[in-house]
Amino acid sequence: MSAIQEMVRHLEKMGKISDEQFIVEMLKNREHLGSTGLGKGVAFPHGRSLAIKQLSVLFARSSGGIDFEALDGKPTKIFFLILAPSEEGADVYLALLSELISLIQKPSKLDKLMQVKDYPSLIDIFGGNED
């Protein structure tokens, strides 16, 4: 099972999306346009669709890393899957994507993301002090 399939399956089990296969194909098609693996071990697979009920963000980590065809050619260890309904929330969707990309530009925050053990520690990274 691919990383995308595994993340989408989790959202489907949580009732966040209505068509797992459609979302997987949408995300794979998006990746064919250009990898959302931006480097530094981080990828932001994302998309918008009518099959998505509400803005959802899934954080996933692979301790060994996955070949996600990142721009720097290195394995991807951190994934932020971002899905949004196509009919609303474009401003929130783009702002969220921008904020997450800004976050990984801070080396100490990126190091902390690599070490996240649970949901409270993830939330702490987002609410923590700026470096």
Catalytic residue numbers? 46
SS3 of 19, please?
A: coil
Sign of CA dihedral 127, 104, 76, 85: positive
Rounded to whole angstroms, how far apart are CA atoms 68 and 13? 24
Which residues, in sequence order, are CB contacts of 54 under 8 Å at separation 6+? 16, 85
- Phi, psi for 14 (deg, rounded to 5): -85, -5
